[in-house]
Amino acid sequence: MNKAALISFIPLLAALVVVFWLDPRTPQYRSSYDPAAADSSIANWFSHLNEWPRAPRYDFFDFDAATGRTRPVGKPEFAQKYAFGKYRYALDVQIREDRLYYVSWGVDEQQRGGAWTAVGEGTRQPDGRWFTVWSCLDLTELGSNGGGAWLEFSPDMRRIFVRYYHDTLPFGSAAIEEGEAEALPLPPERKLEGRIFTYEETLPQLGDKPFVLVGRVVDQHGQGVAAAAVKRRAAGRIETHSDARGFFRLELEKIEQLTLVCAGKLGYANGAITLDQQTAFAAVGAQNGQTALATIVLHKSDDVDHRNYEYTPPQRLERSGATERYAADKHLYCGNCHRGTYDEWKTSRHATMAKNPLTSRAFSHDAMPVALVRGDTTDNCTPCHSPSLASTLHSFNLNGMTLLDATGVHLEGNHCDFCHKIEAVTDPFKPGLAGSVRLLRPNPADERVPGKVKRVFGPLPDVTYLFMGASYNPLFQTGALCAGCHEHKLENGIAGQGTYSEWKQTKYAQPGADYKECQACHMPVYSPQAPKPIRMPDGSLFTPPSAVTNDERKNNGREIAISGTRYRPFHEGHRHDFPGSDSASMMSQAIAMRVETRRDGDSLLVDVTLENTGAGHALPSGHGLKRLVLVVTGRQRAAEVFDGARMLPPEESLEGEVRSGVVIGRRFFGQSAAEAASSARGGAANWAVPYWRAQHLESDTRLWPGKPQTYNFRLTGAENAQVKLIYRRASPTWLRELGLSPKEGTAGAAPLDTIVAQWR
């Protein structure tokens, strides 16, 4: 080669080296770690790890069916301590027959940096490798992570070649990373690699012939599991169900580097299989056939409800200095990982129903003393208002422990860990834990499952985080779940809550285009669209706050937990602020109001038509304390004019207030609190009588879907009129009986009145 050619070749060679270095398809290690963090930060993370009082271990136990407890098993067939990756995570491995278990911990400066601890378990594959699912806790950031790993041991078991993935990361062509582990003691000079990205081209479907995945769902004994829901992770929907022998078939339009297929059925913990294109789909292609095989194993859940289970608080914690002690219970609080969901829930009525001032006072100053005077000691309130407390009681007695005694997690109302422990709703005509809600709480002594939560039920079969022990339960997709507390009758037949049975009478409960479950409105799915402004009764525009972040909108999905960069399709996530009658914008859209006026001599005739156009039940629904108040006021110059034949009843008037209008709701016949407490006889039809003091239902004038009601007013001498439709949370007279001041415009912590429609 002459000198000129050599000079021109050297830059070309350098360029090729750069190309190979940057090309992710090149099997060349490129550390994705950021530059080393400051020594003080790393020392701080190590202190977090060292201060952890009891790491969420994954010890190795068997379940003793005779005693219902777990017990340590004998010595494993293989046990070894390893160091893994660049930052030498500790990795303790045990093998028992065809099962492998491990616990890992360490620090690194990835993303925000911090101390991590993880547990994992898996089985031996036909090719001799072990496939495991792992779950991780971030001790510094109070977050979580999860994923899977293939472990391939050297012949002497001293080294492990690891291919692993994070299931919070977007899948595609570069989902898998590679690393290595080596048995301890490890020489200080020995360098380990821990983040080598691999690359596999995504295989698109050729023409109209999809790839086919034939699989089977089996239990731990190899028996087929029928009717299991099957879907790919974050696929957006349940794609199929297993047949009577456990078999299923999926058609795939593309094959990424990883395909996560999950299955779930009530009574089993969710299971998953991760198909690596390099092996599971090695034979897939236009010339080599288009079918792959997979087996998903579901492990039977304990079917005993363990009453000694202690609920995990929902709170979200914030770090408050290096001196804070670490505790597994606090790190596994639901709000630490599911921060967006927690922030929604904590503003909801579900979060406050055990400590709402109006609820507490109504119970302590009315419902309880009146019942005791009658000789009725049954507590119908605690089973729904403090359900986790109720679940610890053997009976519901007003002379025993009630919601007034709730403390700690039991003050959190319908909180995460309670709701997601519901297995079934049996008799919806008894309130909450008094008859309708059946729980299946895990065995707190079962140390086969790390952490305290151990098991949750939910609507998705593709949740496999080990600390949660997720179990698919289709109940969570139906309004029957809500019926557990939103439907019950008193012994005299009066409905304390009747929302579910009301829904059953509407078109929304019938098969067809109008069918909607409760969750469709009160736990709506997320939408990538920015909220649209809503015209409020006073004419102003209100734009609801967005429940979706810009990052989620950009990635077209809801972020999974706090450490997630993988996104679920929006329609797989449901809001947990439970919007309803407390939402002025929702109420404004639920009721249509039309007003027509005409002259009749010196009178102004006003016809007001109200129609329930947006609710799948009567309005107002729920307990009989709520009502709609339609107020019509005329004006003659500066003076107000009323319809003398339609004056509001005195028990619905605020102090010094005179208005004409109509009260819409359930009106009961019964005694006042003072009369009931004194054992007086008789009673009267009165808007201030709550349902628990009712002798019978006097009238029901509520608005039902598709049944408009028209109200006529005559305003003698009026030149014009004003019409307001007000949502009222309780009778002003009843609030005064409780010692609360309706003049201040509040019913407990909420406004007494909310205008939902207005016409001038």
Q: What is the pLDDT of residues 235-253, one digit of tens each?
A: 888 999 999 999 999 999 8
- H helix intervals, 125-260: none
One-letter amino acid for residue 296 of the chain: I
Q: Is the pLDDT of residue 553 over 90?
A: no
List of residues 6+ apart from 229 with CB closer than 8 A? 238, 241, 263, 264, 265, 461, 472, 474
Class assignment of domain 203-300? Answer: mainly beta
Question: Are 633 and 641 contacting, i.e. CB atoms less than 8 angstroms apart?
Answer: yes
Three-class DSSP category at 251? strand
Q: Is the pLDDT of residue 321 over 60?
A: no
492 or 388, greater pLDDT: 388
Question: Are 227 and 241 contacting, i.e. CB atoms less than 8 angstroms apart?
Answer: yes
Confidence class for position 173, pLDDT limits 50, 70, 90: confident
The predicted pLDDT at position 206 comes to 80
Q: Is the pLDDT of residue 224 over 70?
A: yes
Question: Are 341 and 458 contacting, i.e. CB atoms less than 8 angstroms apart?
Answer: no
Count CB-CB contacts under 10 A for residue 717.
13
> What is the distance between the alpha carbons of residues 716 and 677, in angstroms, rounded to a whole number?
44
> What is the distance between the alpha carbons of residues 359 and 380, in angstroms, rounded to a whole number?
13
Q: Tell me: the pLDDT tens digits for 580-631?
A: 988 888 898 899 999 999 999 999 999 999 999 999 999 999 888 999 999 9
Question: Are 127 and 112 contacting, i.e. CB atoms less than 8 angstroms apart?
Answer: no
We find that the CATH architecture of domain 48-197 is: Beta Barrel (2.40)
Pairing, β 753-759 against β 720-728: antiparallel
Q: Would you identify the CATH topology of the domain 584-759?
A: Immunoglobulin-like (2.60.40)
List of residues 6+ apart from 154 with CB closer than 8 A? 160, 161
> What is the distance between the alpha carbons of residues 671 and 680, in angstroms, rounded to a whole number?
8
> What is the distance between the alpha carbons of residues 76 and 90, in angstroms, rounded to a whole number?
19
> What is the distance between the alpha carbons of residues 536 and 167, in angstroms, rounded to a whole number?
43
Pairing, β 291-300 against β 211-219: parallel
Three-class DSSP category at 422? strand
List of residues 6+ apart from 282 with CB closer than 8 A? none
- Most confident of the ranges 55-64, 394-403, 446-455: 394-403
DSSP 598-617: EEETTEEEEEEEEEE-S-SS
List of residues 6+ apart from 75 with CB closer than 8 A? none
The predicted pLDDT at position 188 comes to 81
β-strand partners of 104: 91, 118
Question: Are 613 and 590 contacting, i.e. CB atoms less than 8 angstroms apart?
Answer: yes
**Residue found under tokens 């830059």:** 11
Burial degree of 220 (CB within 10 A; 0-12, 13-18, 19+): exposed
The predicted pLDDT at position 207 comes to 81
The predicted pLDDT at position 24 comes to 34
Q: What sign has the CA pseudo-torsion 306, 307, 310, 311?
A: positive
Q: Tell me: the pLDDT tens digits for 110-158?
A: 556 678 888 898 889 888 999 999 998 888 877 788 899 999 999 999 9
Q: Quote the strand ranges of 109-176, DSSP E.
A: 114-124, 130-138, 143-153, 159-166
Q: Where are the domains of the chain?
A: 1-27, 48-197, 203-300, 328-452+479-516, 584-759
pLDDT (mean) for 15-33 = 34
The predicted model scores a pTM of 0.89
β-strand partners of 258: 276
Question: Are 212 and 290 contacting, i.e. CB atoms less than 8 angstroms apart?
Answer: yes
Question: Are 474 and 421 contacting, i.e. CB atoms less than 8 angstroms apart?
Answer: no
Question: Are 409 and 453 contacting, i.e. CB atoms less than 8 angstroms apart?
Answer: no
Q: What angle do CA 58, 61, 63 make, to 5 degrees?
A: 130
Give the closest residue to 357 by CA, choosing from 760, 753, 741. 741
Give the closest residue to 386 by CA, choosing from 418, 357, 361. 418
Pairing, β 456-458 against β 470-472: parallel
> Which range, of 325-329, 464-468, 654-658, 672-676, averages the lowest pLDDT?
325-329
Buried b (16+ CB within 10 A) or exposed e, 478-494: ebbbbbbbbbbbbeeeb
Give the closest residue to 652 by CA, choosing from 627, 677, 672, 676. 627
Q: Tell me: the pLDDT tens digits for 635-646?
A: 998 889 999 999
For 588, phi and psi rounded to 5 degrees?
-65, -35
The predicted pLDDT at position 107 comes to 84
69: tokens are: 């407890």
DSSP secondary structure code for residue 10 in this structure: H
List of residues 6+ apart from 7 with CB closer than 8 A? none
The predicted pLDDT at position 28 comes to 31
Question: Are 260 and 165 contacting, i.e. CB atoms less than 8 angstroms apart?
Answer: no
> What is the distance between the alpha carbons of residues 614 and 592, in angstroms, rounded to a whole number?
9
Helices and strands, counts by H and E, the chain: 18, 44
> What is the distance between the alpha carbons of residues 636 and 653, in angstroms, rounded to a whole number?
22
DSSP 691-752: GGGEEEEEEE--BBBTB-EEEEEEEET-SEEEEEEEEESS-HHHHHHTT--GGGTEETTEES
> Which range, of 246-260, 545-559, 661-675, averages the lowest pLDDT?
545-559
Question: Are 130 and 150 contacting, i.e. CB atoms less than 8 angstroms apart?
Answer: yes
Count CB-CB contacts under 10 A for residue 659.
18
DSSP 224-241: B-TT-EEEETT-SS--EE
Helix (H) or strand (E) holding 106: strand 99-108
- H helix intervals, 454-594: 480-486, 499-504, 518-522, 550-554, 584-590
Question: Residue 128 region, left (φ>0) first, then alpha (ψ -120 to 50), else beta?
Answer: left
Q: Tell me: the pLDDT tens digits for 276-319?
A: 887 777 665 555 556 778 899 999 998 999 999 999 999 888 76
List of residues 6+ apart from 70 with CB closer than 8 A? 61, 62, 63, 64, 443, 445, 446, 447, 448
Q: Is the pLDDT of residue 659 over 60?
A: yes
> What is the distance between the alpha carbons of residues 84 and 437, in angstroms, rounded to a whole number?
46
Q: Quote the strand ranges of 613-683, DSSP E.
A: 627-636, 639-641, 661-664, 666-670
pLDDT averaged over every residue in the chain: 85
Same fold yes or no, 48-197 and 203-300: no
Three-class DSSP category at 336? helix
Question: Are 103 and 58 contacting, i.e. CB atoms less than 8 angstroms apart?
Answer: yes
Question: Are 738 and 674 contacting, i.e. CB atoms less than 8 angstroms apart?
Answer: no
Q: Tell me: the pLDDT tens digits for 512-543?
A: 999 999 999 999 998 888 777 777 776 677 77
CA distances from 384 to 93, 462, 477, 501, 722 (A): 45, 30, 20, 17, 40
For 637, phi and psi rounded to 5 degrees?
60, -120
DSSP secondary structure code for residue 79 in this structure: E
For 340, phi and psi rounded to 5 degrees?
-65, -45
Q: Is the peptide bond before 620 cis (omega within 30 degrees of 0)?
A: yes
CA distances from 459 to 479, 520, 641 (A): 12, 14, 55
